[in-house]
Amino acid sequence: MGGGSDAEPAALRSLPAVHEPAALRSLPAVHELAARLDAPHALAVAAARRAIDERRSALRDDRAGLGGDGLEARARELLDALARPSLRGVLNATGVIVHTNLGRAPLAPAAAAAAHRAAGGYSNLELDLRSGARGSRHDHVDSLIRELTGAQSAFAVNNGAAAVLLAVAAFAGPGRAVVVSRGQLVEIGGGFRIPDVIAQSGAQLIEVGTTNRTRLSDYERAVAGASAPIGAILRVHQSNFRAVGFVQDVGVEDLCGLGPPVIDDLGSGVLADPERCPQLAGEPPIGRSIAAGAALVCCSGDKLLGGPQAGLLAGRADAVAAAQRHPLARALRIDKLSLAALEATLRLYRDPDRAAREIPVLAMLHTPEATLADRAQRLLTGLAGARAAAELVRTVSRAGGGALPLLELEGPAVALRTDRDPVSLAAALRDGDPPLIARIHDGRVLLDPRTLSDPEIELALEAVRDALERLAGR
């Protein structure tokens, strides 16, 4: 029988699992465990199967004791996890105001209520109530954006990147060219690159100037010597970085005097009064580009504007109409829930004081030191006697969302230290209900009160206490 064979005789393969450990043989069948769970059949079976698979794997790796102990409890934990929605509300204690991973801008109460109303029934999304004829969803925000920016016409699409893509596509295409400064060929989050946007339109990209310095004469030479008709000059705001030092660029007013249509991508979008929110003073306001004569101005709705995910296009009536007629416009159109929230957010800007007070992004940008200190002290006092060392520290919050990259918002925070490593504590906080998202700095977990509202302070305290108890029990 020389070297033998890799193939096992069928009789041996069919032997019962008598050689398996007793703990493995004691595991119940999936249907038996599922029957003990009070849940719809499909969920109960899924939870039971996962629990048994986990225990079987643990037993084979010598990571568990008796087979059946605690199995039903684990199945119930998994059942709770399966029943829980994947998209959940979280508490943001990171100090990053427009946090991309956490959904960017939280909505103002008026905007959230408007989205709820739109979701709960039918609406006049595309119905003219006066005539009874079909209307346009664009009408719901057109007049508001015109009122707030001075634009001749405006509409919204599903996000800021879509606004830029549609604007370029409407003005350029095969056989035409788009002029961009080399210092503005940027990449934003998710690998969205300006050269790729222009390539999608089929237009020729004409780069002018250098990475750090572009002059008006660079644009003038490009316009005069282009081998293809100039579809547009694209100006791109450096939203998520700043070039400082030996730099030069060209203002939108000068670009608009060159002749070709100007598309001004402002990134975050600012409608707030800088006197009421001076932290925004370094960001270009939408109204300035409109007044300069830009054909189309593009920006996001869910960053510094403080509304839902959306992209705004505003400018000359003919330019807006061209964008609305483009085939991409339907693919990129905004949905009714975002549209309702955007309209409500824009209405708040009619009263600058109310906007600064009720739009969460604006309120967090200029939260008074006294308010932050009170929230931090509430956190510190509430953690007295907890299973962690807590102390007040000074920290720096950020605007986030690819906006105001140089802005540092100093304020108080609460630093937590336990006998566990900070990564384990941060993970336990995320594992709570609701999850609490914190940040780690200098070996400690920081809770920044700037991004926690007053009502959320008590929720955050409960989340920390619960996480510490769970860690202590492990």
DSSP assignment of 309-376 equals: S-EEEEE-HHHHHHHHHSTHHHHTBPPHHHHHHHHHHHHHTTSHHHHHHHSHHHHHHT--HHHHHHHH
> Cβ atoms within 10 A of the Cβ of 96, count?
20
pLDDT at 20: 59
The DSSP secondary-structure symbol of 466 reads: H
Given a cut of 50, whether residue 9 has pLDDT beyond it is: no
Burial 219-241 (b: 16+ CB within 10 A, else e): beebbeeeeeebbbbbbbbebbe
Given a cut of 90, whether residue 19 has pLDDT beyond it is: no
Among the four given CATH numbers 3.40.640.10, 3.30.710.10, 3.10.20.340, 3.30.70.2190, the one describing domain 109-353 = 3.40.640.10
Phi, psi values for residue 426, rounded to 5°: -60, -40
The string of pLDDT tens digits covering residues 261-305 is 999 999 888 999 888 888 998 788 999 999 999 999 999 999 999
pLDDT at 2: 43
**What is the CATH code of the structural domain delimited by 91-99+364-472?**
3.90.1150.180
pLDDT at 374: 98
Residues 6+ apart with CB under 8 A from 408: 396, 397, 398
Given a cut of 50, whether residue 29 has pLDDT beyond it is: yes
Given a cut of 80, whether residue 1 has pLDDT beyond it is: no
pLDDT at 64: 47
pLDDT at 173: 84
- Model confidence at 22, pLDDT cuts 50, 70, 90, reads confident
- Model confidence at 63, pLDDT cuts 50, 70, 90, reads low
The string of pLDDT tens digits covering residues 295-339 is 999 999 999 999 999 999 999 999 999 999 999 999 999 999 999
Question: What are the sequence ranges of the domains in the chain?
Answer: 15-82, 91-99+364-472, 109-353
pLDDT at 473: 77
Q: What is the mean pLDDT of residues 155-164?
A: 95
The string of pLDDT tens digits covering residues 218-243 is 999 999 998 899 999 999 998 877 88
Given a cut of 70, whether residue 6 has pLDDT beyond it is: no
Given a cut of 70, whether residue 151 has pLDDT beyond it is: yes
The string of pLDDT tens digits covering residues 377-392 is 999 999 998 888 999 9
pLDDT at 69: 58
